[in-house]
Amino acid sequence: MTDEGERAVQAAIDGEMRLLDPAVRASPDRVRELLDPEWTEIGASGRRWDVRTVLKVTSGATVSAESPVEVSEMSGVVLAPGVVHLKYFSDNQGRRAWRSSLWRLTETGWRMFFHQGTLTG
């Protein structure tokens, strides 16, 4: 991977980790800065989310500061200039899932465009 590609992947990882931070999740404005206006998610629950619906619940303590989401096996690849695909495993207080997200570079920086979580047994 080129230096530019490595920087793009790292920017997406940094954004992903910020979105998992309880302090960021408690602030709809900070979450909005990281999500593309066209963002959608297919959650581990099977529910479909968009920016409007997720902002209603992000301030509802979905991630505990005392028990943060554990992330492992994070990897990323540049799919095209300005587009990064991340894959990782998360454990949120025993709720374990494989996760995948697409990040794209916009005029305001890297923003998540799509996310999907799939629960594991």
SS3 assignment for 42-105: ECCCCCEEEHHHHHHHHCCCCCCCCCCCEEEEEEEEEEECCEEEEEEEEEECCEEEEEEEEEEE
Give Cα separations from 116 to 5, 101, 108 (angstroms): 23, 6, 23
Q: Is the pLDDT of residue 60 over 60?
A: no
Q: Is the pLDDT of residue 63 over 60?
A: no
Average pLDDT, integer, range 54-81: 81
Place of tokens 């540049």: 78
Q: Is the pLDDT of residue 107 over 90?
A: yes
The pLDDT value given to residue 26: 85
pTM, rounded to two decimals: 0.90
